[in-house]
Amino acid sequence: MSYAKQLLDTYPGSFDIDAALLGGTIDALSDCAQACTADADDDLSEENVAEMVKCIRLCLDCADVCVATLGVVSRRAYYDPNVTSLLLEACVAVCRSCGDECERHAHNHPHCRVCAEACRRCEQACRDLLGAMK
């Protein structure tokens, strides 16, 4: 278990998002960023690396967007809700694209199946947070 929920429970200010929902999104973002970083590297170890190029790039994009989103939602004063919304929407979009591509390789490459699962969970978590922000 991560420290996200504990840190939300000890936050000195107040915020109007459910802590369990936000903590779950933070964990999903963190897990997805690591899974995509690892999966890009797994792809580079495959014999058919030439067929994995799109998967590698999407994993790198997905990791970058998850890391930024993780930073922004971990700061609880959303001075500009528009930034958070656009970023969460970008994260939903990249998790979906990356998840789709990973799924295409899942039957051959078990690591892509794991990464697809991380992307799906993160996509859903970002959707849920977006819904709760409205």
Amino acid code (one letter) for 118: A
φ, ψ of residue 62 in degrees (nearest 5): -65, -45
Could you give the C-alpha distances from 24 to 4, 42, 44, 68, in angstroms and in order? 8, 26, 30, 16
Write down the least CB distance from residue 133 to a second copy, Å.
14
Does residue 134 bind a second copy (CB under 8 A)?
Answer: no
Draw the binding track, 6-45, toward a second copy (x: CB under 8 A; -: no contact): xxx-xxxx------------x---xx-xxx-xxxxxx-xx
Kindly give, in sequence order, each residue whose CB lies less than 8 Å from that of residue 35, ignoring residues fewer than 6 positions away.
114, 115, 118, 119
Q: Which two tokens stand for residue 2?
A: 């991560």
Which residues here bind a second copy, judged by CB under 8 A?
2-4, 6-8, 10-13, 26, 30-31, 33-35, 37-42, 44-46, 49-50, 53-54, 56-58, 60-61, 64-65, 67-72, 74-77, 79-80, 82-83, 86-87, 89-90, 93-94, 97, 101, 109-111, 113-115, 117-118
